[in-house]
Amino acid sequence: MSNNRKYLIAGNWKMNKTSADAEELIKAILLELGDKNGVSVVVCPPYTSLETGAKVLAESSNVQLGAQNMHAKASGAYTGEISAAMLRQLYVNFVILGHSERREYFSESDEEINEKVLAALESNLKPILCVGEKLEERESGDTLKVVETQLLGGLVNVPEDKADQVVIAYEPVWAIGTGKTATPEMAQEVHAAIRVLLRDRFGKATGDKIRILYGGSMKPENADGLLAKEDIDGGLIGGASLDAKSFVKLVESAAKASA
């Protein structure tokens, strides 16, 4: 990685862990992490564990809190939904938006995801905008087209002066939870294309500041190769973030890559 972007390792816990489990896991991560810094570390537990997470993390500047989704509207009759302000009140700093599981199982469109990105930025939440192709799209040679549509669709009307608050996560759908990882070269090819699009969209200086994470079966055994690539600025970790030791190993890989 170049351009002094600070590596970011974020754990997406998905629908795992009760709040009692979350307390235990966050404490274990803090213990394992010690006073290591130099890498941004984020945990994204389910909504029901955010308050517990905020309490456990209150005294730690090393680890920040993220949510896995939110609604674009500020308040109102949206049963079952959560607003940006509700997240901010719990000291949440990041929010994952447009994850492929939201796109697939909850039919989220680029337009809807874009509304959420804008609402998050309005509330000073940093969106982690996820993009990535499905297996059949890769096989038909459409990877870059799909990623471009999702990326630019998610960033409509994002003002240039807030763009460096955005984090992009490239997550090839075929690599999520499958044990199949993109090779560092495959991932870098897409990250580099995203970097070009970001520079075109926001100008070179801002495009160079935006962090692009890789996600999809990233684990301690394959992290070093991925994190060594120029445009891979960290990881969005599913399965391996549910274990304190493997999650912290990924933070250590990022620290090593930035040294």
For the annotated catalytic residues, the residue numbers are: 99, 171
Judged by CB under 6 A, does residue 215 bind ligand 13P? Answer: yes
Judged by CB under 6 A, does residue 120 bind ligand 13P? Answer: no
Q: Which is nearer to ligand 13P, 85 or 242 (CB)?
A: 242
Q: Say how many residues make up the chain.
A: 259
Q: What is the largest CA-CA distance in the chain?
A: 49
Judged by CB under 6 A, does residue 171 bind ligand 13P? Answer: yes
Q: Taking the alpha carbons of 258, 233, 158, 124 in that order, is the dihedral positive or negative?
A: negative
Residue type, 135: L
Instruction: Give the closest residue to 102 by CA, choosing from 125, 75, 72.
Output: 72
As measured in angstroms, the least distance from the Cβ of 45 to ligand 13P is 13
Candidates 94, 239, 247, 249: give the one binding ligand 13P (CB under 6 A). Answer: 239
Judged by CB under 6 A, does residue 66 bind ligand 13P? Answer: no
Question: CA–CA distance from 165 to each of 21, 188, 197, 209 (Å)?
Answer: 30, 22, 16, 9
Candidates 106, 149, 177, 200: give the one binding ligand 13P (CB under 6 A). Answer: 177
Residue 61 is given by DSSP the state S
Query: Are 235 and 10 contacting, i.e. CB atoms less than 8 angstroms apart?
Result: yes
As measured in angstroms, the least distance from the Cβ of 244 to ligand 13P is 15
Instruction: Give the closest residue to 250 by CA, choosing from 2, 140, 200, 238.
Output: 238
Judged by CB under 6 A, does residue 216 bind ligand 13P? Answer: yes
Candidates 7, 9, 12, 87: give the one binding ligand 13P (CB under 6 A). Answer: 12
As measured in angstroms, the least distance from the Cβ of 98 to ligand 13P is 11
Candidates 29, 187, 237, 257: give the one binding ligand 13P (CB under 6 A). Answer: 237
Tokens of 38: 């130099």
As measured in angstroms, the least distance from the Cβ of 213 to ligand 13P is 9
* 107 Cβ neighbours under 8 A, 6+ residues apart: none
Judged by CB under 6 A, does residue 8 bind ligand 13P? Answer: no
Tokens of 133: 């192709």
Judged by CB under 6 A, does residue 187 bind ligand 13P? Answer: no
Q: Which is nearer to ligand 13P, 234 or 238 (CB)?
A: 238
d(CA 211, CA 214): 10
Tell me which residues touch ligand 13P (CB under 6 A). 12, 99, 171, 176-177, 215-218, 236-240
